[in-house]
Amino acid sequence: MSKNFSLMMAGVGGQGLVLLSNIIGTAGAIAGIRVITGEQHGLSQRSGSIQVHLRVGPDVRSPLIPVGSADAILSLEALETLRYIEYLKDGGVAVINKRVMHPVGETGELVNDKTRQYMGLEQVVERVGQVTNHVLTLDALEVARRAGNALTENVALLGAISVLEEFPVPPEPLKGAVARMVPKKAVEVNLKAFRLGAEAARDRFCKELACRGD
Amino acid sequence: MSNEDITSKGPGRAFMMANEAMVRGALEADVKLFAAYPGSPTSEILDAFAETGRQMDLVAEVSSNEKVALETAAGAAMAGLRSMTSMKSVGMNVACDSYFSLAYTGVKGGMVIAMADDPHAHSSQSEQDGRFFGPAAYVPMLEPSDPQEAKDMVKAAFDLSERHGVQVLVRTVTRVNHQSGIVELGELGRTPFKKVPWPHEPTRFITVADRARAFKAGMLGRTAALEKEFESSPFNRIRKDVVPGGKRFEGTGIVASSAGYNYAVEACRLMGLDLPILKLGTTFPLPRRLIFGFIEGLRRVIVVEELSPYLEQNIRALAKDVNPKLEIAGKGPGLFSEALEYNPNIVATVLGKVLGLPTPVDYAGVLERAKRLKEGLPNRPPTFCPGCPHRGTIHALRKALRGVKHVLATDIGCYSMAPLEPLRYGDTLLSMGASLGVAEGLRRSVEEPVVAMIGDSTFLHAGIPGLVNAVHQRADFKLVLLDNAVTAMTGQQHNPASPHEEDDAAQQRIDLDALVKGLGVADVTVIDPYQIKDTPGQIKEALARPGVGVIISRRDCALYGDRNKRRKGEKIVPNKVDKQVCKRAYTCVRDFHCPSISLDADRQASIDPALCDGCMKCAKLCPLGAIQSTQGSMAGRQEGSKGTGQQGTTGGA
């Protein structure tokens, strides 16, 4: 593989974003594909904004993606897509979970101002649409629940993005890494979430973007 | 993140974080003792060592602070064992008293100090540049730029330390520590742990007066020998292959180190520039001849380093002798900043400015558009978790002091978030343990009553002398001691006052109440922050009493408590709002701000069962009793339990 690929990942503390990036990295190690990540730890308790820069390819050196250069952004929470929108290149792919988690400060402002409304998915999609035509939304929570555990939302989204031909780490090593990285008793439900996420994505994504064969 | 890779027999390859790779490097070097106090961005080093210590024949201690940790490692290294400690930048400030003296006495066994700076102050109170700890103490310093180098440098540092008889500093920045990549692992040749006889050489490890003067002379010779060795170190290299066939600028080169090197390489690729790069991995003592050789024939050098102009000033001084006309592009207006962290586009922009080239992407335009797209996007700073006891303590403290102007001196821990959005509560915040010293100065100086606030781990780390002083000075401020059982912020590590678990029966638990009383505090009140109806009154009474008083607010960190519940198979039962009863009083929102509570389409409070911890604080606050437990009405969370461990498995809080 000669092309480099940069994926910006965004979410809320507690959604399992760092685990997700470890799964992709471990899949890279399994498949012999060079992956580096720049992660955020430290102050990232539950409920704070979290970002992971993930880079694949022989020439990547910086764990941080240059702005305007990410091939794709994957957000576990819709609002967080906008928070890191500067990284997405024009015409890049945005895979957005439909889930919106309202920050405590925003709720605080709503109770003080009765006319104020929450920012929602529609606004996010409209604004991300100013950067790219490839905005793909998925109700990953619904997929995860169908798989049998709402906490597999992150792996459902991984399944979803794995169908894209452009995504450089193939599904088999990804599944292998999922099986290695999640707790033993949760392997089955996670692999199911991966599969259901991929299925849901095929219905939604493959009309407009090149997908891998089944 | 699996510890299996760190402890695997090797050789092999694994995807790991630089923090884990450093642990691997130390294990490959047969390290025997590790001691540290947690601190971002180094906490995962301690976590991985703690885990390894349960599987392997080595000592791994969580110390009460960084100075104790460094001294513990020093004791082992004086005896001849290989030892290691890790700390964040500001932890080095705590440890540096002994660190400087240890550079005098030196060590017998190899000793490595992994120290991490935090450009951008992601999780620190400052952007302190710790590279000056190298030259200031005559201690050799290595700077890795990626996980592979982190492993290799730590491994090599033990050997270097032993041969030169001095501790070695391995200095990183957040974007190195928290970088993951594929690491080639060496063989793990562990030998059994064995105590050694003390060498009994009089004054060998005594530094005072003429002993100190004699040591100093030795240190100068040692530094010269180190410099000579570093001239041919594989950790320094001149790269001329960054962009084969790219645009060349004769007479222009780059000097870079640490994270700056990563960005410099990537910026050259973004710009299609074939510039030679001198990559420095040994940054004290600097290999001056190597640098001479690189800059001698250049017309212009671009120095890529975050924070202070450490390399730049050294190069400037060296250039004076060999190439006085050399143009040096480093820090300065329109060039690099001494503030914040860099990234590839920042470095590409500076390269473009210096060389008169456009960047491949209009970075300023992209940032401008992003600013517009983010208008109205609510901030999401880290905040107290659902079920966090601090939320209850702070709510009660504010209620007890409602209408009373007062000053709150706070400290380092999760509760450092209280002065931020949305609570905005707290007046001073300096460093570990500082709340008590600052409160003493405040109570002498301000008209209002003074309250200090500190966590259990921070109190044991550096707060005790401040409380001793307050008692001695007959101060009249009150200390709120937040006892949540663990060092929560850095990933719920144990501290000396943590409850015992099966595997730490060898340690004695410190009794905080007895400790505080033993220091001479007569007025000690213990409250439960979950009892949010009772606590404001209890605090009010305590505040009204004269003299130094300590209010201990005791309740397990919610994340730690949840982990214990999961282990015991207990369910976490979330609360719900009764829509018939809720009259939109918003008592559960204002001054409370739990992430599990938001408003539904009818603007009534609504609780997310996937987030709620079932702590019942909000239920007790609601004047109408609209919030109840779902106990009985449903079996815990929809998913049954949080048993998959899918969330927060990294523990990197």
DSSP letters along A68-113, please? T-EEEEEESSHHHHHHTGGGEEEEEEEEEES-----HHHHHHHHH-
CB contact under 8 A, B638 and A150: yes
CATH number of the domain enclosing B363: 3.40.50.920
CB contact under 8 A, A182 and B383: no
**Helix (H, G, I), strand (E, B), or coil: what is residue B42?**
coil
Q: What is the pLDDT of residue A40?
A: 82
Where residue B637 falls among pLDDT bands split at 50, 70, 90? very low
Q: What is the pLDDT of residue B643?
A: 39
CA dist A14 → B330, B573, B635 (Å): 40, 18, 22
CATH number of the domain enclosing B599: 3.30.70.20
- Does the residue B335 lie in any domain? yes
- Does the residue B646 lie in any domain? no
pLDDT tens digits, residue range B187-224? 999 999 999 999 899 999 999 999 999 999 999 999 99
Mutation target vs B (from A104, A115, A119, A141; most B CBs, 10 A cutoff): A104
- Does the residue B364 lie in any domain? yes
Please report residues of A whose CB lies closer than 8 A to that of B490: 42
Instruction: Check residues B504 and B429 and name the one with the higher pLDDT.
Output: B429
Q: Which residues pair with B631 in a beta bridge?
A: B634
Please report residues of A whose CB lies closer than 8 A to that of B414: 45
**Least CB–CB distance from A46: residue in B379, B595, B644:** B595
CB contact under 8 A, B386 and A63: no
A94 in Cβ contact with A88 (< 8 Å): yes
Q: Is the pLDDT of residue B29 over 70?
A: yes
Produce one character per residue of B328-347: b if its CB has 16 or more CB atoms within 10 Å, e if not.
bbbbeeeebeeeebbbbbbb
CB contact under 8 A, A110 and B603: yes
From the number of C-beta atoms within 10 Å of its C-beta (0-12, 13-18, 19+), residue B13 rates as middle
Where residue B507 falls among pLDDT bands split at 50, 70, 90? confident
Q: What is the pLDDT of residue B505?
A: 65
Mutation target vs B (from A7, A56, A64; most B CBs, 10 A cutoff): A64
Where residue B457 falls among pLDDT bands split at 50, 70, 90? very high
Q: What is the pLDDT of residue A14?
A: 87
Mutation target vs B (from A4, A12, A41, A151; most B CBs, 10 A cutoff): A41
ipTM of the complex: 0.97
**Least CB–CB distance from A42: residue in B417, B647, B652:** B652
**DSSP label at residue B631:** B
**Least confident interval from B46-50, B154-158, B420-424, B645-649:** B645-649
Cα–Cα distance measured from residue B83 to residue B74, given in angstroms and rounded to the nearest whole number: 7
Domain identity same for B135 and B252: no
Cα–Cα distance measured from residue A5 to residue A25, given in angstroms and rounded to the nearest whole number: 13
Torsion on CA atoms B218, B220, B226, B229, rounded to nearest 10: -100
pLDDT tens digits, residue range B38-87? 999 999 999 999 999 999 999 999 999 999 999 999 999 999 999 999 99
**Helix (H, G, I), strand (E, B), or coil: what is residue B165?**
coil
Which domain does B114 fall in, by range?
3-230
Domain identity same for B224 and B273: no
First CA to last CA across chain B, in angstroms? Answer: 15
Distance in Å, alpha carbon of B43 to nearest chain A alpha carbon: 8
- The total of other beta-carbon atoms located within 10 Å of residue B511's CB is 11
Domain identity same for B396 and B354: no
Q: Is the pLDDT of residue B644 over 60?
A: no
Cα–Cα distance measured from residue B186 to residue B28, given in angstroms and rounded to the nearest whole number: 7
Instruction: Check residues B647 and B252 and name the one with the higher pLDDT.
Output: B252
Domain identity same for B273 and B347: yes
**Least confident interval from A46-50, B515-519, B528-532:** A46-50
Q: Is the pLDDT of residue B590 over 90?
A: yes
- Does the residue B415 lie in any domain? yes
CATH number of the domain enclosing B202: 3.40.50.970
Q: Which residues pair with B12 in a beta bridge?
A: B185
β-bridge pairing B597-599 and A5-12: unpaired
Q: What is the 3-state secondary structure (H, E, C) of B360-401?
A: CCCHHHHHHHHHHHCCCCCCCCCCCCCCCHHHHHHHHHHHHC
Please report residues of A whose CB lies closer than 8 A to that of B382: 13, 43-45, 47-48
Please report residues of A whose CB lies closer than 8 A to that of B379: 103, 105
Domain identity same for B115 and B249: no
pLDDT tens digits, residue range B338-381? 999 999 999 999 999 999 999 999 999 999 999 999 999 999 98
Q: Please tell me the total number of residues recorded for chain A in this structure.
A: 214
Cα–Cα distance measured from residue B19 to residue B218, given in angstroms and rounded to the nearest whole number: 33
Where residue B649 falls among pLDDT bands split at 50, 70, 90? very low
Q: What is the pLDDT of residue A209?
A: 93
Q: Please tell me the total number of residues recorded for chain B in this structure.
A: 653
Q: What is the pLDDT of residue A213?
A: 81
Residue of B nearest to A39 (CA): B178
**Least CB–CB distance from B377: residue in A79, A108, A150:** A79
Produce one character per residue of B411-428: b if its CB has 16 or more CB atoms within 10 Å, e if not.
bbbbbbbbeebbbebbbb
Cα–Cα distance measured from residue A3 to residue A145, given in angstroms and rounded to the nearest whole number: 36
Domains and CATH numbers, chain A: 5-205 (3.40.920.10)
Domain limit, last residue, from B230, B247, B265:
B230
Where residue B1 falls among pLDDT bands split at 50, 70, 90? very low
Task: Please work out, in degrees rounded to the nearest 5, the angle formed at the alpha carbon of residue A150 by the alpha carbons of A145 and A152.
Answer: 105
Please report residues of A whose CB lies closer than 8 A to that of B272: none
**DSSP label at residue B41:** T
Domain identity same for B148 and B202: yes
Q: What is the 3-state secondary structure (H, E, C) of B585-620?
A: CCCCCCCCCCCCEEECCCCCEEECCCCCCCCCHHHH
- Does the residue B530 lie in any domain? yes
Domain identity same for B203 and B93: yes
Taking Cα atoms as reference points, which of A1, A3, A21, A8 lies closest to residue A181? A21
Give phi and psi for B275, each to the nearest 5. Answer: -105, 140
Q: Is the pLDDT of residue A54 over 60?
A: yes
DSSP letters along B12-29, please? EEEEEEHHHHHHHHHHHT
Cα–Cα distance measured from residue A10 to residue A77, given in angstroms and rounded to the nearest whole number: 7
- The C-alpha R_g of chain A, in whole angstroms, comes to 17
Q: What is the pLDDT of residue B3?
A: 85
Where residue A47 falls among pLDDT bands split at 50, 70, 90? confident
CB contact under 8 A, A15 and B377: no
Where residue B500 falls among pLDDT bands split at 50, 70, 90? confident
Mutation target vs A (from B373, B492, B566, B590; most A CBs, 10 A cutoff): B373
β-bridge pairing B575-577 and B627-629: antiparallel
- Does the residue B266 lie in any domain? yes
Domain identity same for B242 and B354: yes
Domain identity same for B158 and B32: yes
Taking Cα atoms as reference points, which of B117, B122, B119, B150 lies closest to residue B133? B117
**Least CB–CB distance from A63: residue in B262, B382, B647:** B262
Cα–Cα distance measured from residue B401 to residue B395, given in angstroms and rounded to the nearest whole number: 10
Cα–Cα distance measured from residue B297 to residue B240, given in angstroms and rounded to the nearest whole number: 15
Where residue B645 falls among pLDDT bands split at 50, 70, 90? very low
B504 in Cβ contact with B569 (< 8 Å): no
Please report residues of A whose CB lies closer than 8 A to that of B1: 18-19, 22, 181
Where residue B483 falls among pLDDT bands split at 50, 70, 90? very high
pLDDT tens digits, residue range A174-184? 999 999 999 99
Domain identity same for B241 and B226: no
Chains A, B: CB contacts within 8 A come to: 262
CA dist B441 → B37, B252, B431, B432, B450 (Å): 28, 54, 15, 16, 10
- Does the residue B647 lie in any domain? no
CB contact under 8 A, B645 and A108: no
Where residue B602 falls among pLDDT bands split at 50, 70, 90? very high
Domain identity same for B305 and B422: no
Cα–Cα distance measured from residue A70 to residue B248, given in angstroms and rounded to the nearest whole number: 27
B572 CB-near residues (< 8 Å, 6+ apart): B562, B565, B613, B614, B636, B637, B641, B642
CB contact under 8 A, A82 and B373: yes
- Does the residue B394 lie in any domain? yes
Cα–Cα distance measured from residue B392 to residue B554, given in angstroms and rounded to the nearest whole number: 11
Domain identity same for B394 and B428: yes
Total domain count for chain B? 4
Instruction: Check residues B173 and B633 and name the one with the higher pLDDT.
Output: B173
Mean pLDDT, chain B, as a whole number?
94
A101 CB-near residues (< 8 Å, 6+ apart): A12, A47, A77, A79, B595, B608
B148 CB-near residues (< 8 Å, 6+ apart): B21, B181, B182, B183, B184
DSSP letters along A21-79, please? HHHHHHHHHHHT--EEEE---SS--TTSEEEEEEEESTT---SSPPTT-EEEEEESSHH
Instruction: Check residues B637 and A3 and name the one with the higher pLDDT.
Output: A3
